[in-house]
Structure 1
Amino acid sequence: MDQAPGSRPDGGAQSGLPSCYRHPGRETGVSCTRCERPICPECMVSASVGFQCPECVREGSGTGHAPDAARPRTLAGGSIAADPRLVTKILLGINLAVFLAVQASPSLADHLVLVGRAFFPETGQVEGVAEGEWYRLVTAMFTHQAVLHFVMNMLSLWWLGGPLEQALGRVRYLALYLVSGLAGSALTYLLAGANTASLGASGAIFGLFGATAVLMRRLRYDMRPIIALLVINLVITFGWSGIAWQAHVGGLVAGVLVGYGMVHAPRQRRTAVQVGSCVLVLAVTLALVLLRTAQLT
């Protein structure tokens, strides 16, 4: 997220891990508990102990198709979809639509950006989150003005979002994205100047960074590529002016917490732990928003 005016972690490093027997280009540290063939998150089927490959599940069911209870699941327990990047494409589409709308009518950005409390000469009114416009915490996540800012965020969304959506499943991935973005907006609202306008998907993108690091560690991938990429982005965050570092930090912390809950939740209490991690971060986010609103009103 920027202040308004105005290596890809794909697990492809030479880590020495075996490749999935169904997807040779994907390294993995997980094997089928029955046949011991290496399997990637897309091929993992939750079993009573560990994970099984789709073939072993079909053999165990005695039919050509796995029963509902044994259908392939992602590492986080989500359903495996035919298009593993559908939500990412939708998010890209929303960001693009808002970007084009802002380019066509620049004044539209004044109604979408994140601002605590400020006087807008165009309307002659004091507006902002503190004035009850809480929707700005969300709309700012999808708003961009500068072309470079938009392009960089969308490239990051595509590179990071696709693998995460595939590993977590659509619902969990969308929850991660939105919760991280809201956390970034809340920290910006709390710490930035009341009349400082900020916008961009960077808070949510940094949440994807954090969750990707957690996922790679869970799968025992080589962590050096994602760590290097994250360090570079943090250096840019704190080294360049005009960047809302609060959104990056808030999104990153939220992404790590939610991502950890998603991929490390015990199978017996998976849903409760995953929902709980999201609710916990949202509760803290709400508390920050209420605190800042009380300070400004």
Structure 2
Amino acid sequence: MFIRNERLNEFTRWYPVVTAIVIVHVITFLLTDIPFLENPWMFRMFAGTNLYIELGEWWRLITPIFLHSGFGHFIFNTFSLVIFAPPLERALGKGRFILTYLGTGIIANVMTFFAEGPMYTHVGSSGAIYGLLGVYLAVILFAKHLIPRHSSQTVLPILALGFIMTFIQPQINIIAHVGGCIIGLAFGYFWIQRNKLHFY
């Protein structure tokens, strides 16, 4: 389920939304971190700075989902997206997947806005990615028959390790990680109750 052995053309055809998000990740990384291409304006305009959100720049609740601070941050989140998002895009369908991914990411950023001070600034898709893991957690808790047992045994250790690292690593948006997972759990439960989650 989480083993990606598709060829590139197969991946882009089967998972168009995930592919689009990965392309956006790559473009924003090139524009913010690669010498001669980097543009500080990107972070100034689109990072999730609470003070500017308070002053009415509401788009900063959305745009941080697609920005990353450095190569390691970019690679980790993009790799996680490529591994864990495709089964959910197929299981939910494109529309519900977009709603789930953006919904968990945005709500995690809203929680960060209310929990942190005005000078707090954050970027990264971690809230949305933890949201996807939260959907898997909902499946494990409420509809474990929907996914193979070995897939459940993959998700739970990843979540446990992720939360351990969340609390011991510096400069981590704890609110986004925890909040994204909780919101993803709620999304997952909602889709399960309405029979809208089908793994193939």
TM-score, normalising length from structure 1?
0.57
Pair 1:115-2:49 in alignment:
yes
Structure 1 contact 187–250 (Cα < 8 Å) conserved:
yes
**2:58 match: secondary structure:** coil
Pair 1:201-2:125 in alignment:
yes
**1:89 match: secondary structure:** helix
Structure 1 contact 160–212 (Cα < 8 Å) conserved:
no
Among 89, 93, 106, the residue aligned to 2:23: 93
Among 74, 77, 80, the residue aligned to 1:153: 77
Q: Aligned partners of 2:2 and 2:44: how far apart in 1?
A: 40
Partner of 2:136: 212
Larger radius of gyration: 1
**1:134 Cα shift?**
0.5
* Number of matched pairs: 180
Q: Aligned partners of 2:145 and 2:94: how far apart in 1?
A: 19
**1:218 Cα shift?**
4.6
**1:250 Cα shift?**
1.4
Unmatched tracts of structure 2, length 5 or more = 4-11
* Greater share of residues in helix: 2
Q: Aligned partners of 1:147 and 1:263: how far apart in 2?
A: 36
1:127-276 alignment, distance < 5 Å: 128-216=52-140, 217-219=144-146, 221-222=148-149, 223-266=152-195
Q: Could you say which structure has the greater relative contact order, defined with CA pairs below 8 angstroms and 6 or more residues apart?
A: 2
Unmatched tracts of structure 1, length 5 or more = 1-9, 13-81, 118-127, 275-297
TM-score, normalising length from structure 2?
0.84
Q: Aligned partners of 1:159 and 1:264: how far apart in 2?
A: 25
**1:11 Cα shift?**
6.8
- 1:87 partner letter: V
After superposition, the CA RMSD in angstroms is 1.9
Structure 2 contact 68–124 (Cα < 8 Å) conserved:
yes
- 1:166 partner letter: R
1:19-61, Cα deviation, whole Å (9 max, x unpaired): xxxxxxxxxxxxxxxxxxxxxxxxxxxxxxxxxxxxxxxxxxx
